[in-house]
Amino acid sequence: KGEEEKEKSAFNFQSYMVEKACSVNKALDDAVLLREPQKIHEAMRYSLLAGGKRVRPVLCVAACELVGGREAMAMPAACSIEMIHTMSLIHDDLPCMDNDDLRRGKPTNHKVFGEDVALLAGDALLAFAFEHIAVSTADVSPGRIVRAIGELAKSIGAEGLVAGQVVDINSEGLSDVELEILEFIHIHKTAALLEGSVVLGAILGGGTDEEVEKLRMFARYIGLMFQVVDDILDVTKSSEELGKTAGKDLVADKVTYPKLLGIEKSREFAQKLNRDAQEQLSGFDQDKAAPLIALANYIAYRQN
Amino acid sequence: ASFPSVVSTRSKAAHFDLKTYWTSLMVQINQKLDEAIPVQFPPVIYEAMRYSALAKGAKRAPPVMCISACELFGGSRLAAFPTACALEMVHAASLIHDDLPCMDDSPSRRGQPSNHTIYGDDMAILAGDALFPLGFRHIVSHTPTDLVPEPYLLRVIAEIARSVGSTGMAAGQFLDLEGGPNAVGFIQEKKFGEMGECSAVCGGLLAGAEDDEIERLRRYGRAVGVLYSLADDILEERIKTEGGNDSKNKSKSYVKIYGVEKAVEVAEELRAKAKEELDGFEEYGERVLPLYSFVDYAIDRSFSVGDAIV
């Protein structure tokens, strides 16, 4: 036990995140080049390279390495996931959707490039994500790449991310949204792509079916936790601290965990999800699982 | 030595019953598309997706061309159906987004209200965002792997993604919104040529065609795609001068800029170019006939597909 504690503390999460986010940023910069027509590509790069914590791509790479794969095997998929995440943010921020002016501390895409270009840049990122993973994934069998593409498509479509967005939009302003609906929204809107990130990494890294399913469960728990924490931060932090508009959920009259459960119960719920998530990793080499454990803790205790 | 057989293939193509061929394929494609988008929770998004992907007025030209190109090389129709459906989904997604108020602002499409007119701008954006990945997912989950090896599937996915992406159809739409009048040729190539090119190429890829054959399909498909839109513009212009309705097509048209006569000339050049490409497939005998007759149909419109058939 003592040894294990020492291993955990020996793992330097800060430098791990910095190092991985650096590789991801470099790979993203190399993937989306400034081609003709320049303005679309500028718009794609503007949001894609705007910073962000790169939680999804790092999860993807970490899952790949946990099952014995190398970073390079998962990097194209990790970039694709970040492209899709970015696309969903660009579309979400549009005036006919959430109508946001600020994202990651900068003016939103349509504020800079106009709605038409923002919409197209999002579509182009979505398409390119699939091209990139299909074309640039190396040293992985075609069968695994095809399977990864299927998982990715499922996690972002009408059975995943989009389903969450739709129910979220439809539940705005309703006073009697139940916990069940709230959970549906988050499992789809947030957890699905986090699940996709981890599952893609595990598949591409050569994980067994059992390993892939364990990591899928891990991702589901941290995905839900991610949103519970997000909801808590929305009511407890300022816009400046968050780098996006705070209190947005209250203004939009959205149902949130703090509203349904109260802040304290929400915090307890987040902690339970974190425990459940980490339990899924118990069968793995704890040394190798250290990045995912630290990522779970990071999501649980993050301040923005 | 090949000249006589090319002539004979071309004359056979003139008698090919495209209407029956196209109609029967459409029935199959419509059924498969219907099955590919079952309504689940939340129903509104599936209804929005189905509204555009299953639109009655659609001719299903991209799927039909994909299947014909696959069959040209002896590929099975069963190998091509999932990709054919995906092409229609991806195409529908891009049309839904093109029609939005912040883009072309079109209240109608194929004689029916456009997607956002019925479902709202937000749902229309999301329906498009969901149809893209559903197309890829459908290919992956429905293509029989005993008929199509996985490396071929990866090439098909990359081809479709590239066609709709930032250097393909999205580039065409962007220039249509912002480009000057000189860009019209490029816009037509990108907005309409890409889909034709992609459809033909995907069919060839699924059947395992050689690289030079794929390039030939690429040139053929692009020419036919542009030809269709050009012929549409010419028809529309003629109806207008005969005192019909005003054009509702807001995108920059070759006809509006260069006039009908010049457009007809360009259309004939495209017809000749597309057929020349097909002449290179003479070793495949009569399996090339559907591809020839698409070319003539683009200009002649000798029968009606789509609206007449349900």
Instruction: Please write down the HEC assignment for all residues of A101-145.
Output: CEECCEECHHHHHCHHHHHHHHHHHHHHHHHHHHHHCCCCCHHHH
Q: How many CB pairs under 8 A join A and B?
A: 155
* Element holding B113 (H helix, E strand): strand B112-113
Residue of B nearest to A163 (CA): B42
First to last CA, chain A: 32
- Both structure tokens of B88: 């229609």
Residues in CB range of A98: below 8 A, 6 or more apart: A92, A248, A252
Task: For B90, name the nearest residue in chain A, comparing CA atoms only.
Answer: A127
Distance from CA of A150 to the nearest CA of B (A): 5
Do B239 and B245 touch, CB atoms closer than 8 A? yes
- How many C-beta atoms lie closer than 10 Å to residue B308's C-beta? 9
Which of A96, A128, A163 shows the shortest C-beta gap to B161?
A: A128
Task: Give the pLDDT score at B2.
Answer: 54
Buried b (16+ CB within 10 A) or exposed e, A189-201: bbbbbbbbbbbbb
Nearest-by-Cβ selection for A158 from B45, B136, B162? B45
B42: preceding bond cis by omega (within 30 degrees): yes
Q: Return the exposure string of B144-173: e unless at least 16 CB atoms fall within 10 Å of the residue's CB, then b.
A: eeebbebebbbbbbbbbbbbbbbbbbbbbb
Structure confidence at residue B56 (pLDDT): 83
DSSP type of residue B53: H
Question: What is the pLDDT, as a whole number, of residue B9?
Answer: 87
With the C-alpha atoms ordered A240, A87, B151, B153, is the resulting torsion angle positive or negative?
positive
- Say what the pLDDT of residue B310 is: 32
Which of B101, B157, B174 lies at the smallest CB-CB distance from A130? Answer: B157
Mutate to test the interface with B, among A166, A167, A180, A188 (most CBs of B within 10 A): A166
**Could you tell me how far CA B258 lies from the centroid of its own chain?**
24
Is A37 in Cβ contact with B162 (below 8 Å)?
A: no
CB within 8 Å: B94 and A166? no
Instruction: Select the residue of A41, A119, A156 nearest B166 (Cβ to Cβ).
Output: A41
| pTM for this prediction | 0.94
Nearby residues of A57 by Cβ (< 8 Å), 6 or more positions away: A20, A24, A78, A79, A81, A82, A197
Q: Is B27 helix (H, G, I), strand (E, B) or coil?
A: helix
Contact criterion met (CB < 8 Å) for A124 and B125: no
- ipTM value of the model? 0.94
Place of tokens 């939340």: B42
Across the interface, of A147, A157, A166, the residue whose CB is closest to B133 is A157
Say whether B140 and A37 touch across the interface (CB within 8 A). no
Contact A172, A255 (CB under 8 A): no
Report which secondary-structure segment, H or E, holds B226: helix B211-241
Q: Chain B residues with CB inside 8 Å of A149's CB?
A: 136, 140, 154, 157
**Three-state SS across A143-183?**
HHHHHHHHHHHHHHCCCCHHHHHHHHHHHCCCCCCCHHHHH
Mutate to test the interface with B, among A120, A135, A167 (most CBs of B within 10 A): A120
Instruction: Give yes or no for a contact between A220 and A183, defined as CB atoms under 8 angstroms apart.
Output: no
Query: Which amino acid appears at position B151 of this protein?
Result: P
Instruction: Kindly list the averaged pLDDT for each block of 10 residues, start to end, along chain B of length 310.
Output: 74 91 96 97 97 91 97 97 98 97 94 96 98 98 97 98 95 86 80 95 98 98 95 87 57 80 94 97 95 94 63
pLDDT at position A82 is 98
Pairwise CA distance, residues B177 & A37, whole Å: 12
Contact B42 A88 (CB under 8 A): no
Give the chain B residue nearest A168 (alpha carbons).
B42
CB B267 within 8 A of CB B54: no
- Contact between B252 and B187 (Cβ < 8 Å): yes
Nearest CA distance, B17 vs chain A (angstrom): 37
Chain B residues touching residue A45 (CB < 8 angstroms): none
Residue A247 Cα to chain centre, angstroms: 21
Residue B189's pLDDT is 86
Element (H, E) at B109: strand B108-109
End-to-end Cα, chain B, rounded Å: 45
Specify burial of residue A33 (Cβ count, 10 A radius: 0-12, 13-18, 19+).
exposed
Identify which of A96, A115, A128 has the shortest CB distance to residue B122. A96
Question: What is the distance between the alpha carbons of residues A280 and A61, in angstroms, rounded to a whole number?
Answer: 18
- Alpha-carbon distance A183 to nearest alpha carbon in chain B (angstroms): 14
Task: Determine the residue type at A246.
Answer: A
CB atoms under 10 Å from CB of B55, counted, come to: 17
> How far is B59 from B52, CA to CA, in rounded Å?
13
Question: Following DSSP, what letter does each residue of A207-272 receive, concatenated?
Answer: --HHHHHHHHHHHHHHHHHHHHHHHHHHHHS-HHHHTS-TTHHHHTT---HHHHH-HHHHHHHHHH
Other Cβ atoms within 10 Å of A9 Cβ, number: 9
Pick out chain A residues at pLDDT < 70.
Answer: 1-10, 239-240, 242-248, 250-253
CB pair distance less than 8 Å for A130 and B150: no
Strands B108-109 and B112-113: antiparallel
| Opening angle at CA B158, ends B153 and B161, nearest 5 | 125
Contact assignment for A35 to B157 by CB distance below 8 Å: no
Distance from CA of A184 to the nearest CA of B (A): 10
Q: Residue A119 CA to chain centroid, in angstroms?
A: 20
DSSP bridge partners of B109: B112
Which residue, chain included where needed, has tokens 């998982």?
A: A151
**Interatomic CA distance for residues B142 and B252, integer angstroms:** 38
Query: How far apart are the CA of A107 and the nearest CA of chain B, in angstroms?
Result: 19
Q: Are the C-beta atoms of residues A107 and A101 closer than 8 Å to each other?
A: yes
Q: Which residues of A touch B49 (CB under 8 A)?
A: 158
Distance (Å) from the alpha carbon of B213 to chain A's nearest alpha carbon = 21
